[in-house]
Amino acid sequence: MSAPLALHHAFCAAAVHHAARTAVVEPERGAVTYAQLDALSGRLRDRLVAMGVAPGDRVGIYLRKSIDAVAAIYGILRAGAAYVPVDPEAPPARNAYIMHNCAVKAVVMEARFEDRFITELFALGEAPPRLLLEATGGGEPLARALDAADAEGPAAVVEDAARAADDLAYILYTSGSTGKPKGVMLSHENAVSFVDWCSALFGPGPDDRFSSHAPFHFDLSILDIHVALKHGAALVLIPEERGKDALHLARLIAAERITVWYSAPSILSLMAQFGNLAEQRFPDLRLVLFAGEVFPVKHLRTLCERVQGPRYFNLYGPTETNVCTWYEVVPPVPAERSAPYPIGRVCEHLRGKAVDEDGRPLAPGAEGELCITGRGVMQGYWSLPEQSARSFLVDADGTRWYRTGDIVVEGEDGNYIYRGRRDRMVKRRGYRVELGEIEAGLYQHPLIKEAAVVALADADAGVRITAFLSSREPGRLSLIELKRFCAGHLPLYMIPDRFEWLEALPRTSTDKTDYQRLKELG
């Protein structure tokens, strides 16, 4: 088998074949063609090399989602470095820790973030060189920053750096159990194998228009950006400040003629409930993809009823593998169905197995931890060799299997059914309880819009289970009504000890339920 191309090579080839086509759209801020994006990212490549960036280095991206940020991604890759995106709305201390932790050689950032960021960085060590943009939007701020740098000293034009399959392409930082974020290291082969798998399954082409809803520090963005720009398609950036406005998103899908939508289920749930979908028309939409957490069946049913025509795919996988299993949901969703759909079969560029607590493979039908191996699996965690080693199961022949921490059952048809997280299993009154199963039961009530369940240690009971809920209507169910409903839908040992109502459940920057925040509230 020939070595895979570097992650940016497909975009560079598309820029030759589709030079005049629209590459990236930033609603209300402009658009760029493939030729323009190629030129802008090439200029950044040259400037980064002039700043001392060499193949194998890391370069930080501290920018709002924008054409400028997309150009930064490709400029960094073309310089031979790995890109490290951070959430610009996260605390500066967190972003400084990330940049310091992976020793970035330079940072492309908005000037408004610099003062607090540098203060935090100096508390940790030296601050790397920075290319400062006065703002972001449409690519012009990056072009002006490059013009200003060239005025002080022109950057020589260089060739794209050669990269090997196992060289780092990007590092995505996720929450760590120690309270410090940990960097997931993904190579060019990891990324390209995933992009190629998406290309084979979803058949993208130059006439497609991909949504870009996920922030660039979230692994969902890899599909958005790199699959779209491999095939000459247009990438439509969804502004982060409007990312949870259900009515705006529904209108944007129609107005921008989106053909491929990809987001966390929470966003699609919002659109199903509050997007006024009955009044919208989506003749161009051909694929609806969702990943990141379980999609409550009642909201998925509503979405499929109100948006008919596209194919629906449930994509599953942690950041460490990107997508590793997939399942096509074929509408309509039966009225009697309450259980979530399977997470599906393992992607063709990977292999999977369910294992017991001792790492032994299990037969179909037995419940165990899902482990994944193959070209898409991360190299490890940056500068955390012991944690990296603990995250893998190693066979006698040396094959490394990533331990996802997710409990699954393989069905007779080969599709995996998700049972919950290993770290969300608790023992209560002698029974093993999966907190996600309680959430699924609560979602069956028609007035419950959102449900999340946490368990905390309790000196008397051993564990105390609290359900956090939000309501579809101004009125809320009484405690008696909730207890009565739970008694009819859950075993007695699963009924929560407490129920707390919130206007809306807290979300992380990647649109997942913020369970850590809920534990603090509990």
- Kindly give the residue spans of alpha helices, DSSP state H, lying in 381-500: 385-390, 435-442, 479-489
What proportion of the chain, given as a percentage, has pLDDT over 70? 97
Location of each CATH 3.30.300.30 domain in the chain = 429-521
What does the longest C-alpha to C-alpha distance in the chain come to?
73
Tens place of pLDDT per residue across the chain (522 aa): 344 589 999 999 999 999 999 999 999 899 999 999 999 999 999 999 999 999 999 999 999 999 999 999 999 999 999 999 999 988 899 999 999 999 999 999 999 999 999 999 999 999 999 999 999 999 999 999 999 999 999 999 999 999 999 999 999 998 765 668 899 999 999 999 999 999 999 999 999 999 999 999 999 999 999 999 999 999 999 988 889 999 999 999 999 999 999 999 989 999 999 999 999 999 999 999 999 888 999 999 999 999 999 999 999 999 999 999 999 999 999 999 989 999 999 999 999 999 999 999 999 999 999 999 999 999 999 999 999 999 999 999 999 999 999 999 999 999 999 988 887 878 776 676 889 889 988 999 999 999 999 998 776 667 899 999 999 888 899 999 999 999 988 888 889 999 999 999 999 988 889 999 999 997
| pLDDT confidence of residue 17 | 98
* CATH numeric code, 33-187: 3.40.50.12780
Give kind and range of the element (H or E) at residue 61: strand 58-62
Q: What SS3 state is found at 468?
A: strand
What's the distance, Cα to Cα, between the start and end of the chain in Å?
53
CATH of 350-420, one of 2.30.38.10, 3.40.50.1170, 3.30.420.40, 3.30.160.150: 2.30.38.10
| Short-list 261, 310, 257, 313, CA closest to 286 | 310
Strands 130-133, 106-110: pairing is parallel
Q: For residue 332, with 0-12 CB atoms within 10 Å meaning exposed, 13-18 middle and 19 or more buried, which class applies?
A: exposed
* CATH fold group of domain 243-341: Rossmann fold (3.40.50)
| pLDDT confidence of residue 2 | 44
| Short-list 103, 152, 154, CA closest to 129 | 103
| pLDDT confidence of residue 179 | 62
Location of each CATH 3.40.50.980 domain in the chain = 243-341
How far is 514 from 506, CA to CA, in rounded Å? 5
CATH class of 429-521: alpha beta
DSSP 136: -
Strands 400-410, 416-421: pairing is antiparallel
| Short-list 439, 460, 461, 459, CA closest to 450 | 439
Summary count for the chain: helices (H), strands (E): 16, 26
| pLDDT confidence of residue 430 | 66
| Short-list 396, 387, 391, CA closest to 406 | 391
Residue 241 half-sphere exposure toward CB, CA atoms < 13 A: 4
Residues in contact with 178: Cβ distance below 8 Å, sequence separation at least 6, in sequence order? none
| pLDDT confidence of residue 292 | 87
Q: What SS3 state is found at 407?
A: strand
Amino acid at 506: P
| pLDDT confidence of residue 1 | 35
How far is 194 from 375, CA to CA, in rounded Å? 8
Helix %, strand %, coil % of the chain (to 5): 35, 25, 40
Structure tokens at 132: 């400062």
Packed helices 140-152 and 34-50: angle between N→C axes, nearest 10 degrees = 40
Location of each CATH 3.40.50.12780 domain in the chain = 33-187
Torsion angle of the four alpha carbons 335, 338, 340, 345, in this order, in degrees rounded to the nearest 10: -60
User: Cα 398 from chain centroid?
Assistant: 30
How far is 356 from 408, CA to CA, in rounded Å? 11
Give kind and range of the element (H or E) at residue 130: strand 130-133
Location of each CATH 2.30.38.10 domain in the chain = 350-420
